[in-house]
Structure 1
Amino acid sequence: MVSSAMLFERRPWERRQVGIIRDHSDIQAGLDALVELDPRLAAIVEASGPVPLRLNEPGFSGLASIIVSQMVSRASAEAIWRRITAVGPVTAASYRALDPATIATFGLSRAKAATLLHLSTAISEGHFDLASVGALETAEAIRRMVALPGIGPWTAEVYLMFCCGHADIFPTGDVALQAAVAHAFGLEARPSAKDLATMARDWSPWRSVAARLFWAYYAAKMRRDVTPLA
């Protein structure tokens, strides 16, 4: 077994700018580049099988689905999302206008119900411009999103990855990613978020593809699909 610290001493590669991820060709380009950046990933690509694109439309609906996905189980999240979408189109204005009694039937936790209500109100009343946040530089986009009540770094990172196509994000606080990296590299324990951030620097500017790869690896090895979007 090796420790996570042993994986950090790598010579930095020259980085290049990467555009927005839009289709499967971008995923393949990212995988090819990642194997060049870190040859250890070749075996992980082989073990993982196809790496899904999984892009959703940007906007309130996409962000709301990510918030809902943070349930105890994927089945619970999917059931709640079906109830929400059954009411009608999921927009900030339509959600803000829902009767509280209707929202109560969705099965949301009190915290998530409050987050969605705050978010829909902020967007529909013009206090937050979600439509433009995806065009910002990643760090600034995350900073603005986490200023919203109930929106944490993981939620912001996943939204920017899967709804806006940002190519260089690795959600280091994701437990499944920590477990997948530990398993793939034979670590003694799951790396902390801080240690995983250090490791993931080697995969820049394709960290969003690396995250997809390790989620796919987790699904292949642990037989559980934990990617935030279906």
Structure 2
Amino acid sequence: MSPLPPSPRIDSAETIAGHIEVLVGMDRRLAAVRDFAGPVAPRINPPGFAGMAKVITGQQLSVTSAAAIWGRFAQLPGALDPVAYLTLSEEAVRATGFSGGKFRTVRAIAEAMVAGELDFDHLETLPAGDAVRYLIAHKGIGPWTAEVYLMFCAGHPDVFPAGDLALLKAVQHGLGLDARPAIKDMIGIAAAWAPYRSAAALLFWRYFAVMRDREGILL
């Protein structure tokens, strides 16, 4: 199958399905992963401060816990605006379930935006690698946070969060690997799926979810 040009945003089921079909043509091992996972839906959040705050909320938490905390945080007056966030007390934010570290990370992002040092509109004009480097230059933003933001808030078509544990487990199982790949090995595996790595990540997250539900275990 001839490669399709990457979509500017991987924000529709049709775009994702098209990218996955190209991936299967590039790597036949993904055919069984696709067939098992079934349809893959887009997961897009608002870009900018609110989107980054939501990604940070989900760091090192289960989906259920992150959703509960985000629900409370998003209802806090001023929480989704960088200028207003800076007026909130740590006590008020942490009452929603934020840790002290997450409160300070989001505050640092708000301060950088207000100072003009972090421009999310500019970020969307950068290639994935440059965009990750731009984000991780800011305190509290690591590679996973940057990559997840680019996928789910910027809709970038060529990002693979190689440090995500669920992805590492799913790739091991889905590709029949003897051991869970190390992050550096996962980066190498995913490099072969460029420029459609975001669709590959979404596919393996879906694969992980289906396997977990069917088997009742974590891979």
Structure 1 window deviating more from structure 2 (145-154 vs 89-98): it is 89-98
CA distance in 1, matches of 2:32, 2:87: 50
Per the alignment, residue 86 of structure 1 pairs with 75
Q: Please, which runs of 5 or more residues in structure 1 have no aligned partner?
A: 1-13
1:137 aligns with 2:127: yes
CA contact (8 A) 2:90 2:103 kept: no
Matched, 1:44 2:33: yes
C-alpha displacement at 1:137, in angstroms? 1.4
Moved more, 90-99 or 178-187: 90-99
Q: Which residue of 1 aligns with 2:65?
A: 76
Superposed CA RMSD in Å reads 2.0
* 1:54 alignment partner, one of 39, 43, 46: 43
Counterpart secondary structure, 1:136: coil
Question: 1:17: Cα distance to partner?
Answer: 4.8
- Give, in whole Å, the separation in 2 of the partners of 1:97 and 1:42: 51
Instruction: Check conservation: 2:144, 2:163, Cα contact below 8 A.
Output: yes
Aligned residues of 2:167 and 2:201 also touching (Cα < 8 A)? yes
TM-score, structure 2 length as denominator? 0.90
Asked if 2 retains the 8 angstrom alpha-carbon contact of 1:177 and 1:211, the reply is yes
Q: Which residue, out of 11, 14, 22, partners 1:33?
A: 22
Matched, 1:160 2:150: yes
Structure 2: distance between partners of 1:131 and 1:60: 11
Deviations along 1:157-180, one digit per CA (max 9) or x if unpaired, are 111111111111111111110000
Which of 114, 121, 143 is 1:124 aligned to?
114
> Does residue 179 of structure 1 match 2:169?
yes
Q: Distance in 2 between matches of 1:17 and 1:215?
A: 23
Q: Secondary structure at the match of 2:39?
A: coil
Residue aligning to 1:22 = 11
Query: Higher relative contact order at CA 8 Å, sep ≥6: structure 1 or structure 2?
Result: 1
Q: Which residue identity is paired with 2:21?
A: D
Distance 1:168 1:66 in 2: 18
Relative to the length of structure 1, the TM-score reads 0.86
Q: Deviations over 1:50-77 (max 9, x none)?
A: 2111111211111110110114322221
Runs of at least 4 residues off by over 3 Å: 14-17
- What is the number of residues matched between the two proteins? 213
Shift of 1:18: 1.7
The match for 1:114 is 104
Structure 2 portions without partners, runs of 5+: none
In 2, the alpha carbon distance for the partners of 1:171 and 1:206 equals 13
Partners of 1:73 and 1:157 lie apart in 2 by: 18
**Percent of aligned pairs with the same amino acid:** 41
Which SS does the other structure have where 1:165 is aligned? coil
Which amino acid in 2 is paired with 1:109? Answer: S
